[in-house]
Amino acid sequence: MTRSLTAPGVQALQRVLAAEHAVVFGYGVAGARLQGRDRRRARVRWARHRAQRDELSELLTRLGGQPVQAAATYALPSPVRTPADARVLVTRLEEGLTAVWADAVLALDGDRRAVAVGGMRDAAVAAALWREGSVPFPGLAERSSPGG
């Protein structure tokens, strides 16, 4: 693995880290409304996103950067009152994360690009599981929607 990154590579990793912070927060909110199998799946995904967040933070620190910090709270796209609302939220979070990882794939190379491809794939698969269906070109559909 190369030891340094270009400025666009560092910026891409910072954006992924910021997105992971938001996803961790969102899974915490959603998990409070989910039940049974969905709650268990959300707990696994929450732990995975926490680990990914920590790995990105450590990488940016090793590269001499200052990892972006989590916000105290995040605005949610809609209220989360029911299990259905929670599933919509985590689907949107994973879809958005897929798009951020896709940007990182473009900005990185070598082993780090492979990591970004894995992150993109992981988020796209999670979104498909929550949505109970796939979409063509995960990570790109979000580009055509407002705020994407």
Judge whether residue 122 has pLDDT over 50. Answer: yes
- CATH 1.20.1260.10 for domain 7-144, yes or no, is yes
Tell me what pLDDT residue 43 has: 97
Tell me what pLDDT residue 148 has: 41
Letter for the amino acid at 108? Answer: L
Tell me what pLDDT residue 141 has: 54
Judge whether residue 2 has pLDDT over 70. Answer: no
Tell me what pLDDT residue 63 has: 85
Tell me what pLDDT residue 1 has: 40
Tell me what pLDDT residue 3 has: 55
Higher-confidence residue of 64 and 14: namely 14
Going by pLDDT thresholds of 50, 70 and 90, the confidence category of residue 146 is very low
Question: Both tokens of residue 45?
Answer: 């995904």
Tell me what pLDDT residue 139 has: 56
56 in Cβ contact with 67 (< 8 Å) = yes
Going by pLDDT thresholds of 50, 70 and 90, the confidence category of residue 144 is very low
Element (H, E) at 56: helix 36-62
| Tokens 């999670």, located at residue | 126
pLDDT averaged over every residue in the chain: 89
Distance, CA of 49 to CA of 98 (rounded, Å): 13
**pLDDT tens profile 28-83:** 999 999 999 999 999 999 999 999 999 999 999 998 889 999 999 999 989 999 99
Mean pLDDT of 113-129: 95
CA distances to 89, 108, 109, 111 from 46, rounded to whole Å, are 13, 25, 27, 25
pTM of the model: 0.87
- Phi/psi zone of residue 139: left (φ > 0), alpha (ψ -120 to 50 degrees), beta? left
Domain range summary for the chain, segments of one domain joined by +: 7-144
